[in-house]
Copies of this chain bind each other. A is one copy, B any other.
């Protein structure tokens, strides 16, 4: 493919250039300052895909399920973009690497694009990078986007703000249902999947989850379905997609734009908090100054108050002017 020297990544992505797609996602991942202008150019094309977040505890079979969901979507002639957020690099974890290699077979199909994102050591910026990657995949034109993240903590939950439907995958095993409730996994679920449904305890887990959903979420408009599946043997995948389709119909009926705006507000909030924390406390941050002021005998209370005053100074004036 010929590339004009002056052509922007956005323009190349608009005409389906996968090399440009890969580079732009790398820019998102690395926090490249050039990313913002390209995304702004692509922004009118964002919002056409349906984004399915897939999360759950380690070992629940998320990657296998994502692979199967992609397979069935492709059999229905829908294109699929996959963004898999790994808490550690995909090149260090044995199981993860295995999963990815298996999934990479699907990359021979031009209707699928798979991207793994490592967390770059810290959790900072992960949600932001994943959301940006989904935006780029969306602008590129994939019909379905699968966003996979392990459900272990707040940073991973924040990733799910980029999803329209959140599928939480659990499997039978020592107290898995209880763990999920404790970890707040149920709270983020739009669809619950009991994976490895041929294993002992699957029915019990499914009944426990149905009861938990019934007890906890009686006041919500959307009743979270509990679907049995066995991704390893390709069972129940259509049922999962059917539950996602029902959730999509529900969201669209009750106002898709409002739902997306709520999630985008959360994205802005997490993005600002993350970047602010990096600016304030990263290598070029305020630590040295705080140390010096404490050394001079100021209380932590006084140092914090002075810093806060300084930080919000610039903010206060324009905000008041706008009212």
Contact = CB atoms under 8 A, between A and B. Distances in A.
Interface in A299-313: 299-305, 307-308, 310-313
A312 B268 contact: no
B308 A272 contact: yes
Nearest to A279: B312
Number of copies: 2
Contact of A275 (B272, B308, B318): B308
Main secondary structure of the interface of A (DSSP, over half): helix
A299 B261 contact: no
A23 interface: no
Contacts of A128: 301, 304
A102 interface: no
Contacts of A294: 261, 264-265, 268
Interface residues of A, number: 53
A245 interface: no
Interface in A109-134: 128, 131-132
Given A307-B268, A310-B318, A314-B315, A301 B261 contact: no
A290 B313 contact: no
Contacts of A44: 297
Interface stretch (A11-19, A35-43, A85-93, A211-219): A35-43
Interface of A: 35-36, 39-40, 43-44, 46, 128, 131-132, 135, 261, 264-265, 267-269, 271-273, 275-277, 279-281, 286-287, 289-291, 294-295, 297-305, 307-308, 310-315, 318-319, 322
